[in-house]
Amino acid sequence: MKKWLLLLVAACITLALSACGSSSSGSADGKKKIIMGTSADYKPFEYKDGDNIVGFDVDLAKALAKKAGYEIEVQDMDFNSLITALKSKQIDMVLSGMTPTPERKKQVDFSDIYYTAHHMIVSKKDSGIDSLSDLKGKTVGVQLGSIQEEKGKELSPDYDFKTEDRNRISDLVQEIKSGRFDAAIIEDMVAEGYFNSNEDLQGYTIPDAKAEEAGSAIAFRKDSDLTDKFNKALKEMKDNGELDKLKKKWFSNEK
């Protein structure tokens, strides 16, 4: 009796361990569930509304997944941990306003670009910061692991300012309001969302001849079969106007 009990326990342990080998699983309706990692502090792309994570990227992920035959589960984590979580199979994809930089492409694969953004300098309205030259001697905040962090490092030698990083965009805004940061580099659409709820903030777009470098794409593990499937679904949404409808829903000032 004890022998059979031990065999049963061993079988259960083996089954449990095998289930932990991948982040993907089945759903109640038979569709395969995949886990999307994001940093839910990037309104209107992804943010928390009560207990739910909502936003443009979330709606896009669900629409693409439906076309590809999957269901999406969304997990919130710090932006700088997303690629590590993807590579270690804690998640299956990243949709978080992520730019496919050369360094990131060495670690993961990316979909086609689904959105092109611009960088903005955000500061208090009474800061006197109206151009890059006004940043001389100032402290500028950037989100850790973001394309804006790279932009800050690129600009700081020419304009003589120092950068400090934080994990969340909300942290950057709070540091500006408290006076610990003079300004921060934030994506323009995200910054606009903070302007709506913080009347003491202002911003201006950084002139950039290479704006396409700030485009957002979906990250997948190297050689994942999801990349082609989601690219196909993304092309369909671009061609039939669904992507433009989502952009209007989340980014239009008229909504």
Alpha-carbon separation of residue 136 from 131, 133, 160 (angstroms): 10, 6, 5
Q: Which two tokens stand for residue 232?
A: 């196909």
Q: What is the pTM of this model?
A: 0.67
* Total Cβ atoms within 10 A of residue 22: 12
**Range(s) within the chain of domains with CATH label 3.40.190.10:** 29-116+215-251, 119-207
8 A C-beta contact, residue 32 and residue 38: no
Give the pairing type, strands 93-94 and 32-38.
parallel
Residue 8 has pLDDT above 60, yes or no: no
Percent above pLDDT 90 for the chain: 72
Residue 211 has pLDDT above 60, yes or no: no
Phi, psi of 209 (to 5 degrees): -70, -15
Q: Which two tokens stand for residue 161?
A: 């300012």
Average pLDDT for 169-180: 96
pLDDT of residue 117: 77
Query: In terms of CATH, what superfamily is 29-116+215-251?
Result: Periplasmic binding protein-like II (3.40.190.10)
Average pLDDT for 148-176: 95
CATH T-level topology, domain 119-207: D-Maltodextrin-Binding Protein; domain 2 (3.40.190)
Q: For 52-99, how does the pLDDT look when each residue is reduced to its tens digit (9 = 90+)?
A: 999 999 999 999 999 999 999 999 999 999 999 999 999 999 999 999
Q: For 97-107, how does the pLDDT look when each residue is reduced to its tens digit (9 = 90+)?
A: 999 999 999 99
Question: In whole angstroms, what is the distance from residue 209 CA to residue 211 CA?
Answer: 6
Band (19; pLDDT cuts 50, 70, 90): very low
